[in-house]
């Protein structure tokens, strides 16, 4: 009896995943909670019924008392509060911080208006993605950026290496890693009305993609109107000692409509919104062009290059990439990461990189890469899921955006 | 935005934190297998499903892969799979026998398992080969204790 039951369920899941996931050997991790890092909200999560799981070296809530499905729906209907303090926020400062960063990312950083930000990609020499990041030009001498928790060590080492080379040639740039701050994400239709209760600044003047330093609930916060859900919302960098109070205040002001939401729902939301998950939909070998992020390469950057891997990327823009990211609907069980995609004749033409059931659409959705030529809407494809062929029954645009959120994003843009 | 294949790793985690013990029902008129199946015995025919306790851990069921009618089941081997938002789980047969009826309602409405784990959420009806196997299953009291012990073990691992 001992060792059966849920443990056995876990084992059978592990075996199943090990079969479909040839790259990663899924294994039951025996790391104790003591080895994992904790955010400022750890006790708060546990007190609110958070199911804590290891994630990128941190103990994070995958969900709370409500199901992942209900959480996802509630975010779009009301709002969600996410603890994303495991992510790494940093500031680049100095007269040359803009030309410095432009060597490492595809964005037109110089062209950003002060107080605005954008999604960008840190590239390597082969044009592949080291990480994706939301960068914000605070002023011409201060850039604030957030990178993924799982890529923290890699990204910081990369930035530091280039910073040393840059400064040794006389460039003026330095950094500060904001480990004294915690990042919270407040997303959904109630995000702005609720947050407005906690600050004197008029949030209706802060458009999507914009940034402000302001007092929220008595603490000096960095506020970016952005998110990872496709909804309106904010990422709030708050001093860690004020994080719990801010979280409490947000939940109270919403009268329970904004709920603490975990990483499980966060993944559903971003998949529905067509947003890449680094490590799944983007990896070291994936170029921004292949990932459907050519729009993020500034016009001037396309003309001038000057970032790592520019030759590869500019060539792909000119000639087209050999593989492309697509969004697919499929029948039967949901497609998951690493499921094979085949054409009508049974030839391998690609792979699913993220997939699941969409609570909002009530359908299976998946993102993946297919060989160019097979990426057009209507091409007959099938996905191999646990040895069975499941037909692709629908397509979305090359950015894999499943939910029609365009109207929402237009409404939030600066007029 | 996160590290490599986190969803894959997460899917193998069915841990819960100490504070979150949802109250799951254990029905008195059923027997239970060691991987959380319930069995309703009616003569030489049994109905099989998954317990409320297991479903609490799995979360919303979004897909059920059912066996065919006529399929031969062997005690301890997988005969169906149940998918939730973040994981896929094998369902192991608590007994051996032949599938005589499959709950096709689960194809269109997999959520029936969560809504009604012991009634509408049944998976298969099986004609059993060996009456002795039923005796190896747990009675409700034993199963409740089994679930408690498992949770204590999970908590100890944290």
Span B27-85, pLDDT tens digits: 999 999 999 999 999 999 999 999 999 999 899 999 999 999 999 999 999 999 999 99
As beta bridge partners, residue A220 has A215
Q: What per-residue confidence (pLDDT) applies to A403?
A: 78
Q: What per-residue confidence (pLDDT) applies to A38?
A: 97
Q: For residue A23, what is the nearest residue in chain B, using CA coordinates?
A: B5
Per-residue pLDDT of chain A (415 residues; tens, 9 = 90+): 223 333 333 333 333 333 333 333 333 344 565 689 999 999 999 999 999 999 999 999 999 999 999 999 999 999 999 999 999 999 999 999 999 999 999 999 999 999 999 999 999 999 999 999 999 999 999 999 999 999 999 999 999 999 999 999 999 999 999 999 999 999 999 999 999 999 999 999 999 999 999 999 999 999 999 999 999 999 999 999 999 999 999 999 999 999 999 999 999 999 999 999 999 999 999 999 999 999 999 999 999 999 999 999 999 999 999 999 999 999 899 999 999 999 989 999 999 999 999 999 999 999 999 999 887 777 789 999 988 888 888 877 667 678 777 667 777 888 8
Neighbours of B63 (CB within 10 A): 18
Whether the Cβ atoms of residue A306 and residue A373 lie closer than 8 Å to each other:
no
Binding-site residues of A sit at: 235
Residue A149 touches partner B, C-beta closer than 8 Å = yes
C-beta atoms of A334 and B158 within 8 A: no
Which candidate from A26, A149, A268 shows the least CB-CB separation from B12?
A: A26
Which candidate from B59, B83, B92 shows the least CB-CB separation from A333?
A: B83
Q: What per-residue confidence (pLDDT) applies to A49?
A: 95
Q: What per-residue confidence (pLDDT) applies to A413?
A: 81
C-beta atoms of A4 and B35 within 8 A: yes
> What is the rounded CA–CA span in Å between residue A16 and residue A11?
8
Whether the Cβ atoms of residue A149 and residue A88 lie closer than 8 Å to each other:
yes
Q: What per-residue confidence (pLDDT) applies to A405?
A: 74
Binding-site residues of A for substrate sit at: 235
As beta bridge partners, residue A91 has A144, A176
Residue B28 distance to chain A (closest CA, Å): 19
> What is the rounded CA–CA span in Å between residue A14 and residue A26?
6
C-beta atoms of B9 and A26 within 8 A: yes
CA A269 to chain centre: 10
Q: Which of A373, A286, A368 is nearest to A334 (CA)?
A: A368
Distances (CA, A) of A291 to A167, A218, A295, A313, A314: 32, 41, 11, 11, 14
pLDDT range class, residue B3, cuts 50, 70, 90:
very low
Per CB-CB distance under 8 Å, the chain B contacts of A23 are 5
Interacting residues of A393 by C-beta distance below 8 A, sequence separation 6+: A329, A330, A331
> What is the rounded CA–CA span in Å between residue A182 and residue A160?
22
Residue B89 distance to chain A (closest CA, Å): 5
Q: Which of A50, A68, A84, A59 is nearest to A186 (CA)?
A: A84
Q: What per-residue confidence (pLDDT) applies to A398?
A: 63
Read off the tokens for A91: 């500031």
Q: What per-residue confidence (pLDDT) applies to A406?
A: 66
Interacting residues of A377 by C-beta distance below 8 A, sequence separation 6+: A395
Residue A264 distance to chain B (closest CA, Å): 7
> What is the rounded CA–CA span in Å between residue B153 and residue B85?
25
pTM: 0.87
Q: What angle do CA A38, A42, A43 make, to 5 degrees?
A: 135
CA A277 to chain centre: 5
Q: What per-residue confidence (pLDDT) applies to A375?
A: 75
Q: What angle do CA A399, A401, A402 make, to 5 degrees?
A: 145
Q: State the SS3 of chain B.
A: CCCCCHHHHHHCCCCCCCCCCCCCCCCCCCEECCCCEEEEEECCEEEEEECHHHHHHHCCEEEEECCCCCCEECCCCEEEEEEECCCEEEEECCCCEEEEEECCHHHHCCCHHHHCCCCCCCCEEEEECCHHHHHCCECHHHHHHHHHHHHHHHHHHC
C-beta atoms of A336 and B88 within 8 A: yes
Q: For residue A130, what is the nearest residue in chain B, using CA coordinates?
A: B3
C-beta atoms of A336 and B16 within 8 A: no
Residue A10 distance to chain B (closest CA, Å): 5
Whether the Cβ atoms of residue A198 and residue A249 lie closer than 8 Å to each other:
yes
Which candidate from A46, A87, A279 shows the least CB-CB separation from B5?
A: A279
Residue A56 touches partner B, C-beta closer than 8 Å = yes
Per CB-CB distance under 8 Å, the chain A contacts of B108 are none
Whether the Cβ atoms of residue A49 and residue A252 lie closer than 8 Å to each other:
no
Q: For residue B78, what is the nearest residue in chain A, using CA coordinates?
A: A12
Read off the tokens for B96: 């051996």
Burial per residue of A15-49, b for 16 or more beta-carbon CB atoms within 10 angstroms, e otherwise: ebbeebbeeeebeeeeeeeeebebbbbbebbbebb
C-beta atoms of B4 and A33 within 8 A: no
Residue A54 distance to chain B (closest CA, Å): 8
pLDDT range class, residue B117, cuts 50, 70, 90:
very high
Which candidate from B4, B10, B17 shows the least CB-CB separation from A279?
A: B4
Residues 245-284 of A with CB under 8 A from B: 263-264, 267-268, 270, 276-280, 283
Q: What per-residue confidence (pLDDT) applies to A32?
A: 61
Whether the Cβ atoms of residue A107 and residue A307 lie closer than 8 Å to each other:
no
> What is the rounded CA–CA span in Å between residue A173 and residue A114?
18
Residue A79 distance to chain B (closest CA, Å): 19
């Amino acid at each position: 009896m001992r060792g059966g039951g849920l443990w056995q369920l876990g084992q059978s899941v592990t075996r199943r995943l090990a079969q479909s996931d040839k790259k990663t050997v899924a294994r039951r991790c025996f790391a104790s909670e003591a080895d994992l890092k904790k955010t400022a909200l750890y006790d708060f999560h546990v007190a609110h019924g958070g199911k804590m799981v290891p994630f990128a070296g941190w103990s994070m809530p995958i969900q709370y008392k409500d199901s992942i499905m209900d959480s996802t729906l509630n975010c779009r209907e009301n709002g969600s509060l996410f603890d994303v303090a495991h992510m790494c926020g940093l500031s680049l400062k100095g007269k040359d911080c803009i030309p410095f960063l432009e060597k490492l990312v595809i964005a037109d950083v110089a062209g950003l208006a002060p107080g605005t930000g954008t999604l960008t990609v840190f590239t390597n020499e082969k044009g592949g993605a080291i990480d994706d990041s939301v960068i914000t030009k605070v002023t011409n001498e201060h850039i604030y950026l957030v990178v993924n928790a799982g890529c923290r060590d890699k990204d910081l080492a990369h930035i530091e290496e280039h910073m040393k080379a840059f400064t040794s040639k006389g460039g003026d740039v330095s950094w500060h890693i904001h480990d004294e701050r915690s990042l919270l994400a407040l997303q959904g239709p109630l995000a702005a009305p609720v947050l407005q209760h906690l600050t004197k600044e008029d949030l209706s003047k802060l458009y999507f993609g914009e940034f402000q330093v302001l007092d929220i609930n008595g603490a000096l916060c960095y506020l970016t109107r952005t998110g990872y859900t496709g909804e309106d919302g904010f990422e709030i960098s708050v001093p860690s000692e004020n994080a719990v109070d801010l979280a409490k205040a947000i939940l109270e002001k919403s009268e329970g409509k904004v709920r603490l939401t975990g990483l499980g729902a966060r993944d559903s939301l971003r998949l529905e919104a067509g947003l890449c998950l680094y490590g799944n939909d983007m990896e070291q070998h994936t170029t921004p062009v292949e990932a459907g992020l050519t729009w993020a390469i500034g016009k001037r950057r396309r003309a001038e290059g000057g970032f790592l891997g520019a030759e590869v990327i500019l060539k792909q823009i000119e000639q087209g990439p050999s593989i492309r990211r697509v969004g697919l609907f499929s029948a039967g069980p949901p497609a998951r990461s690493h499921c094979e995609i085949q054409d009508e004749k049974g030839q391998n033409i690609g792979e699913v990189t993220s997939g699941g059931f969409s609570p909002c659409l009530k359908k299976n959705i998946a993102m993946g890469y297919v060989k160019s030529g097979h990426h057009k809407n209507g091409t007959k494809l099938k996905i191999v899921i646990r040895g069975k062929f499941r037909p692709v029954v629908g397509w979305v645009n090359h950015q894999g955006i499943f939910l029609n959120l365009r109207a929402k994003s237009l409404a939030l843009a600066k007029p | 935005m996160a590290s490599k294949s986190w969803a894959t790793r997460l899917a193998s985690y069915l841990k819960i934190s100490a504070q979150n013990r949802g109250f799951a029902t254990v029905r008195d008129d059923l027997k239970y297998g060691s991987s959380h199946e319930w069995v309703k015995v009616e003569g030489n025919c049994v109905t099989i499903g998954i317990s409320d306790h297991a479903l609490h851990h799995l979360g919303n069921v979004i897909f059920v892969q059912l066996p065919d009618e006529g399929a031969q089941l062997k005690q301890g081997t997988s005969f169906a799979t149940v998918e939730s938002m973040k994981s896929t789980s094998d369902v192991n047969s608590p007994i051996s026998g032949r599938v005589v009826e499959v709950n096709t309602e689960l194809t269109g409405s997999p959520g029936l398992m969560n809504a009604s784990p012991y009634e509408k959420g049944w998976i298969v009806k099986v004609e059993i080969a060996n009456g002795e196997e039923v005796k190896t299953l747990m009675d409700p009291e034993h199963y409740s204790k089994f679930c408690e012990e498992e949770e204590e073990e999970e908590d100890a691992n944290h």
